[in-house]
Each structure stands twice: as C-alpha cells, then as structure tokens.
Amino acid sequence: MQHLEEIQKFWHNAQDLGSLPDDYLSWQAAQKQDFLWNSRILKSKYDELPPLRKIDIVGLFFTALKTKMDRQLDEAPSNWKKAIHAHGSVAKIKFVPTNNTTFSGLFKGADYGVLRLSVTGDPSDRGFAPGLALKLFVDGNPSGNFSALVSLVGQDKNYNFFANELSNIVPVAKSLGPIVTNLIFTRVTRYPTKLYLEDLGEIDQHGQKESKAYYPAQVFLVPNPNIKFAESPPHDFRNDLAKIPTGTSLYTVYGVSPEDATEEKNNRQKAKVIGHIETTSEFLSSFYGDSQLFFRHQRFRNR
C-alpha cells in the first residue's frame, strides 16, 4: 500500500492549494475535466492499491447525507469519508448519444466526464457488489451526476465487474444490511433505492438551459459483452479495470421515457438505447478519487 506518509503529504499539499479554485465553476467543461484529472487524480495515484474496506455502517449513520443529496460541487467537503464504496477506480469518459435522441440536456451528448467504478464494500464481507458514479461536466455550471448499482445485495461470489447491468433504481432488498442502510438514508429521502435524473436533462454540456427538460425515468447500463473478467477466484477488480484501454465502449445506456414508465419491474422491457459510455483514458485508482472526488445523489420524487 502507498505509504501513509505519502498520502498525508498529498493531503497536506492539497490543503495548501486550497479546495477548488474560486472561479472553477465558471470554467469550460474540458478545463474542469483536465484539472481534476491532471492536478488531482494523477498526482495522487496509488503506488500500491490499499485494501478494500468493509461497509462502515456507523460511519454512514454519522455522515451528513443531506450534503450528499444537495452539494453541487465536484469536490467533497474537507474530512469527507466514504462509508460505502470507499475504494474504486476512475476514468475519463464521454457520453455518446444515439442519433436524434428525444431526451434533453446532457442526454444529447457530453464530451467531458469522469466515471468511478467501485464495490459497495470488501467482497469477502457481503459479496461482490458493483456500483458506479458518473459525472458529466458543463460549461460554467454545476456538473450532472448520477449513480447506479447492480442491486443492493450485489452478485454474490461473481468477481466479474461487468457480469450484470446496473440501474439508477434498484429493488428494495429484504436482507438485514440493505434494510439498515435504507433506514439511514430515509432521514433525507423518501426513496432510498431510487435516484432522480432531472438535473442531467435541464442543461446541455455548453451550459444552455433547456426550455423544457425531458429525461428518462430510469436508465439501465448494459456492459459491453466483449469486456469479461474472471468470475473467480477472488481478485481485485481495480487490477481488472486497469487493463481496459482508452477508447473502450463500456456500457450501452438504455432509457425509459416518463410516459412509458410504470412499475420498475416492467421498465426494463420498455427501455430503448439512448447512448453509450466510452472511456477517453485508462482507469486509475487514487487517493483523490477515493477521498475527495464528489458525486451528488439527486433525490427521487414522484411526478
């Protein structure tokens, strides 16, 4: 593992630099991506991967979840700690829409973004549970963010990160761990297993506000079938991700239009391809990516 002294040195250097530059929000999308990648993520790349941690339920209870829902900055507050999804890998990406898409805002295309792939906690504790967080940068405005999971319980002992599709809405699980987690999140949202996509439909990557936002009720991210990693024995998914070359289409994105959405269990059958997520860099694991890169969770609300 990277020596603690090195991590602390980076942290102190980051503190010396301050948080994001005062005029960061006004920057172009490309500038924001370049700054976070080169000045934060690359500079804090791990020499050796830190061990995966178990879910910190106590830490989650004391986490300022309102911040997770409402903060619109790309960097976390100082001393922010990830109680779940503590370790992952980040790549630069772009969202390539289908031709003549009907959805608005960033669903019309986004050339500059970052994607963080992670697992809920140490797979030896509760099984292998993949998740992702996506950020699409916008000229002169806050980024659009959303997260997705395979499910609240994951995929048991299957260590292939791309074995299953993910969604921003997952079924309620009845096992103890997810029940406790959901109860904690109900302090700030009525729908702890659902994330809203409205902010991605309200503005395009050039900062132009949409007169009427039109966005999917639910998205499904289907892995590229050509990306396959070993299901067993247990191994570190971050080493797998590091093998993915730049320019890889990772996921085909399916969306369900609001008028077609009914019960979630039927939405998948109504979903249509709306675009692809493609890497524009390799995946890197870093102290900044694990500690300070921030992804907002937008509260779900009924229409």
The pLDDT, as a whole number, for residue 201 is 97
pLDDT at res. 77: 86
CB contact at 8 A, 119 and 3: no
* Rounded CA separation 136/145 (Å): 6
Instruction: Return phi, psi of residue 168, to 5°.
Output: -80, -10
Give the separation between CA 6 and CA 43, rounded to whole angstroms: 11
How many other CB atoms are there within 10 angstroms of residue 36's CB atom?
Answer: 24
Please name every residue paired with 279 in a beta bridge, in sequence order, or none if there are none.
93
Residue position matching structure tokens 């039927």: 266
Radius of gyration of the chain (CA): 18
Q: What is the pLDDT along the chain (303 residues), one digit of tens a residue?
A: 444 554 554 455 444 435 899 999 999 999 999 999 999 999 999 999 999 988 766 554 446 555 665 788 999 888 777 767 889 999 999 999 999 899 999 999 999 999 999 998 899 888 999 999 999 999 999 999 999 999 878 899 999 999 999 999 866 556 545 544 444 445 445 554 567 799 999 999 999 999 999 999 999 999 999 999 999 999 999 999 999 999 999 999 999 999 988 766 689 999 999 999 999 999 999 999 999 999 986 645 554
**Dist. CA 287–CA 77, nearest whole Å:** 15
User: Tokens 């992804």, residue?
Assistant: 295
Pair 106, 199: CB distance under 8 Å: no
Residue count (the chain): 303
Residue 45 near residue 283 (C-beta atoms within 8 A)? no
> Which candidate, 204, 207, 288, 281, places its Cα nearest to that of 27?
207
Give the whole-angstrom CA distance, residue 269 versus residue 281.
33
**Comparing C-alpha atoms, which of 8, 143, 2, 152 is closest to residue 85?**
152
**Predicted local distance difference test score (pLDDT) of residue 282:** 98
**pLDDT value, residue 2:** 44
**Angle of CA points 254, 173, 80, to nearest 5°:** 80
What does the pLDDT read at residue 179? 46
